[in-house]
Amino acid sequence: MKKFSVPLLLPLFTISVILIIWQCISYFEVFPDYAFPTLNLVLLSFAEELSSLRLVNDTIASLWRVIIGFLLSATVAIPLGLYFGHRKALRQAFIPTLNFFRFLSPLAWIPFAILWFHIGDKPAVFLIFLATFFPLCLSVISSVATIPDIYFRVAKEYHYKGSELLLKITLPAILPQLISALRICYGISWIVIVAAEMVGCQDGLGYGIWDARNALRLDTAVCYMITIGILGMTIDRVFLQFTKAKNIKWGYGK
């Protein structure tokens, strides 16, 4: 029992400490209520937002944008990364450009996104695509480029070519790194969606935070922040389950 209880108790202990500190700051009025909402106010705001279904609708809107933008990015970045990874000349030609755009903040594209796509889902999806495409593509390129040559010599002996080479050699070799890259890029997409919805949408979790800020309802803003954190952790756990698959966990030293 100790093996399972200790890992469970440690996060609960950490959360309890955070809640106690939160309550102490509120009790001693280190900040006024409008600048640092109490736990009770946040809980009441949760009940209010859930009963009106606003939080539910905003969560669905944000999830939709994140999923579409992230899937579009992965659909383009992974095949392109696989293609470039096998061709040294293309890697040398395109990696500097990909790195340039990787270091360019996706938030810098917000004015262009609004002008090109106006407001709504499209600018948010576009920004998520930009934010995740370049790091994901570069990660795939790097993973393919570092596959040991012995793998491909063995593949040549078995006459693997085309899709057979991809499915039996390349993808199994890079799957651990690919799952890690997808997890990181997924986290980036949540950071970007909040900023994108603040300026280009009329709903969503980011818009909810912005609307709460304008109304000086930081208790509501905290509700939305907690929701974003819980959603992010939940879906990250889904990615984590893939690392436990028999054909993948070898890359994590398990």
Domain range annotation of the chain: 33-252
Q: Which tens digits make up the pLDDT trace of 52-78?
A: 999 999 999 999 999 999 999 999 999
CATH number of 33-252: 1.10.3720.10
Q: What is the mean pLDDT of residues 145-161?
A: 83
| Two structure tokens written together for 90 | 């293309």
CA 145 to chain centre: 25
Per-residue model confidence (pLDDT) at position 196: 84
Q: In the chain, what percentage of residues exceed pLDDT 90?
A: 39
Residue 158, CA distances (Å) to 20, 42, 98, 161 in order:
63, 62, 34, 9
Q: In the chain, what percentage of residues exceed pLDDT 70?
A: 94
Residue 101's Cβ-count burial label (10 Å; 0-12, 13-18, 19+) is: middle
Q: What is the mean pLDDT of residues 38-61?
A: 92
Per-residue model confidence (pLDDT) at position 1: 45
> What are the DSSP E strand ranges found in the chain?
none
Instruction: Answer yes or no: are the C-beta atoms of 69 and 189 closer than 8 Å.
Output: yes
Q: Exposure pattern of 200-215 as b/e (b: 16+ CB <10 Å)?
A: bbebbbbbbbbbbeee
Name the average pLDDT for the chain: 86
Per-residue model confidence (pLDDT) at position 5: 55
CA distance 10 to 129: 36
| Two structure tokens written together for 80 | 């392109």
Per-residue model confidence (pLDDT) at position 249: 60
Q: What is the mean pLDDT of residues 76-93?
A: 90
Q: What is the mean pLDDT of residues 81-96?
A: 89
> Is the pLDDT score of 158 beyond 80?
no
